[in-house]
Amino acid sequence: MQGFAAGLMLSISFLDLAHNAINSIGFLKGNLWFFGGVIFFAFIANFIPEPTLAPISKKDEGGKDTLKKQRRQVLFSGIVTAIGISLHNLPEGMAVFLGSMKVTQA
């Protein structure tokens, strides 16, 4: 179900951007830039390795030390993720707020 929701959100975003691009620069240029971006993304995706989730250990350390280190890494990842999501949502929240303020003033 989440895959469907993600696909729906991406398609809505794409169609909105494509409509604006076609209206502003024309059908041919809009499609050329779109497919140029697809090719560029595919090219870049082939050169960036996929991250692995398995931790790489050079030697067997103590069990408790390894557990503490992994917990620290998970906590750090959680904090970085929370900061990233907050920074991502801040402009969206501001846009919705300003849009609603504009409607109420009209």
Residues 66 and 92 in one domain: yes
CA 106 to chain centre: 34
Residues 64 and 100 in one domain: yes
pLDDT in tens, 26-43: 999 988 998 999 899 999
Residues 27 and 67 in one domain: no
With H, G, I as helix, E, B as strand and everything else as coil, classify residue 36: helix
Distance CA 21, CA 41 (A): 19
Instruction: Find the range with the poorest average confidence among 6-10, 49-53, 98-102.
Output: 49-53
Q: What domain range is 45 assigned to? A: 1-50
Write the single-letter amino acid at 84.
G
Residues 67 and 83 in one domain: yes
Residues 37 and 1 in one domain: yes
Whole-number pLDDT of residue 65: 79
pLDDT in tens, 89-102: 888 888 888 888 87
Bigger pLDDT: 64 or 35?
35
Q: 59 pLDDT exceeds 70?
A: no
Q: Find out whether 32 and 18 touch, Cβ atoms under 8 Å.
A: no
Residues 59 and 93 in one domain: yes
Residues 103 and 90 in one domain: yes
Distance CA 54, CA 76 (A): 17
